[in-house]
Amino acid sequence: MQAYEGYFENGHFFPAGQTMRVKGRRRAFITILDEPARNDETTRRLAALDKFFSEIEACDEDVPEFERVKFREDKI
């Protein structure tokens, strides 16, 4: 038996940093957990954003207005 951790997005399964090696046709069970998918990179980026916004809030100087930016959405 093999177990893989990853996440589902738009009907596709993405293993978390692993290569899945399954030969032939195999019976499988999939359990969808009641928690969002996160990985180390996501956690690191969210911590950086939290630090960025807390530094802005703690700043006693005028914070400049930023232009709006439209990011493109990557399709997998």
CA distances from 74 to 31, 71 (A): 27, 9
Cα–Cα dist 26/22, whole Å: 8
Q: Is residue 5 predicted with pLDDT exceeding 80? A: yes
Of 40, 57, 44, 56, the closest CA to residue 5 belongs to 40
Structural domain span for residue 19: 6-58
- Of the chain, the end-to-end C-alpha distance in Å amounts to 29
Quick one: pLDDT at residue 76?
Answer: 61
Quick one: pLDDT at residue 75?
Answer: 66
Q: Residue type at 26?
A: R
> 36 lies in a domain?
yes
Cα–Cα dist 25/48, whole Å: 43
How many separate domains does the chain show?
Answer: 1
> 51 lies in a domain?
yes
- Using one digit for the tens of pLDDT, what is the confidence trace for 6-18? 888 788 888 877 7
- Using one digit for the tens of pLDDT, what is the confidence trace for 17-76? 778 888 899 888 888 888 877 677 777 888 888 898 888 888 888 877 878 878 777 766
> 65 lies in a domain?
no
